[in-house]
Structure 1
């Protein structure tokens, strides 16, 4: 395993070796960061590399044999390299719903599965409202790893079916998304268990950052004025923040884009904290919303998300279920069928506008996972 590094708590400074299987800081119980410095990615040589996110191996905390053409790759289903499609004269969509498991979560799941393959745990566990669980299940299947995914009992039946089809065990937990997380936290303390947490494990964020590396590559070594990103647990946004910082530090971009974060109006603790000038978010009450994938009442990385958006000169927007429903239908009319959560960023662009700035929005999950939004 190349680029091996330690976990480090961003609050307490506590460190732990990855081999310890510690899933959170033992002192504050917060999520880990990595003590890792990315190398510069040579854009001019990327064309000859693997057609997956492993092509950016200099920037990844796990190396992949074969990324530069020297042998079989690490765990992979050919994830990444999703296309950019114009929506307006200035706004472009990145079609991450075309990933192998039909959501952007494959970017982080492949990193966690590769890490688990090296660590050889007795079993892998995860918790999810659906998309992260299906991604972890698929990549564990690819890596030959035993896997259990804890999901809320109200999770879309199609997502539960997909988890089971990959050979993982979906464990339906009574209650909401937080109840599923608590069940996973309890199981994570068992011996030989690797908790493939898309929230607490920073390897996931180093996978999602490839979203921005792809935009940078496909736009000829530049980034748009703004990146519009969903913000529930903030895994794509924080990955984007990592990538922007790395590209800027290596002189590969001249300026940093603004990060425009989008939350569902029904559950928007981050947006409320941002606009109130707070450094951390106050937990919100759980509430039903079409954008179930970003309806996180108490995101563990709230401080990091707020800091990243502020540092970029960005802002937060919220969208209602009616706006999400309209955006989903609008995208479908353009030939792009995404799930309601996946339409949230486009809903924000339509509702709030971006002026004359260039922007990229992610279409994060396929409509086949949930179907069309109804009601209203």
Structure 2
């Protein structure tokens, strides 16, 4: 049924399930799936003649197709210098104005092939918007669960794409629980950017694009914002694939950035733990998109950072606001979550070689953040 059919596997229990099933988590531990998929090497010289979207890396994609029906031209975002040794990838120039389009197009393509009665997603805004847009493109019925307090501009964008909104009282964690309960209803495809690994195989194209734009090499350091870790884990997947195929001769260092207000992974890393010590308390932060108190893939994120000799950095509310203003003065209006990596670099020692940060979401989604003093 699916091109290059793959299987889900639980990284903890080693239980398998077919990728054409609507089973969204491991039935034993209720954890997220990984994907049993082996990529083929991408030929750098062949790319010039290919489609100008992330589907150009077809050898690396589990849902590869010559003519993807749900594509909106996502990917191929510009890489521009911020300083002599720091460049920014402008992923806020995606069709729905965030990097989440990279994974959403994969989930929508999968859902189109499975033809469920409905697609369900949960999000603090950007992932829900992306899923709604690509479901609209695919002609799929879509409902998006969001926490109360989600940006009104993001809610408007989700509604504009024709998705039905369910606003859940409470925080992001309460929203995820409500969505997971609803995901068990018959005929439902849970388009979870956390639990479904196809999303990670979409976000890994971020690194494939860097590899292409840099002429077959990778930056020395990749700095990535981390809440649920979907961009970081996708980046780690791509690095391992490129290195494993002999297309790069070294792995870049991965640096993960969290808001100081909600930093469970940074705390676990500093303690030398392999899992979360405990869920983080839910505190308000300008970086709402990465304010995840209990990320389901925490152990995988910690392993991925440590494997590259990387580290975690945290940023204060003042640093987030200052970074957003600084980027706007450089001509780049980025939402407050999306500036976290630039905020971290401005406050950290200079690193050798080329460092790349993603600017993940457009400022039009949230507006300019208010100045704050200290942590909330």
**Band of TM-score, shorter chain:** over 0.9
Equivalence for 1:309: 305
- Deviation, 1:269, is 0.5
Partner of 2:4: 3
8 Å Cα contact 1:92-1:360 kept in structure 2: yes
Equivalent residues of 2:5, 2:62 under 8 A apart = yes
TM-score (norm 2): 0.98
User: In the alignment, which of 352, 355, 359 is matched to residue 359 of structure 1?
Assistant: 355
CA offsets 1:275-305 (integer angstroms, 9 cap, x no match) = 1100001211111000000010000000000
CA–CA distance in 2 between the matches of 1:349 and 1:336?
16
Alignment partners' CA distance in 1, 2:93 and 2:331: 13
TM-superposition CA deviations, 1:126-165 (whole Å, max 9, x none):
0000000000000000000000000001100000000000
1:29 is the counterpart of 2:24 = no
Whole-Å separation in 1 of the counterparts to 2:8 and 2:69: 21
Partners of 1:97 and 1:268 lie apart in 2 by: 24
* Structure 1 position 15, deviation (Å): 0.5
More displaced stretch, 273-282 vs 111-120: 273-282
Stretch deviating more after TM superposition (10-19 or 194-203): 10-19
Q: What residue number does 1:288 align with? A: 284
C-alpha separation in 1, matches of 2:85 and 2:298: 30
Separation (CA, whole Å) in 2 of partners of 1:221 and 1:46: 12
Unaligned stretches of 5+ in structure 2? none
Where does residue 370 of structure 1 map in the other structure? 366
> Which contiguous aligned blocks of 4+ residues in structure 1 show a shift greater than 4 angstroms?
none
Report the counterpart of residue 320 of structure 1 in structure 2: 316
5+ residue gaps, structure 1 = 67-72
Q: CA deviation at 1:63?
A: 1.2
Q: How many residues were matched structurally?
A: 370
> Which residue of structure 2 lines up, in the alignment, with residue 62 of structure 1?
63
Give the whole-Å Cα distance in 2 for the aligned partners of 1:65 and 1:146: 25
Paired position in structure 1 for 2:174 = 179
Counterparts of 1:8 and 1:297, CA distance in 2: 25
Aligned to 1:146: 141
Check if 1:46 corresponds to 2:47: yes
Matches within 5 A, 1:60-209: 60-66=61-67, 73-209=68-204
Report the TM-score, using the length of structure 1 for normalisation.
0.98
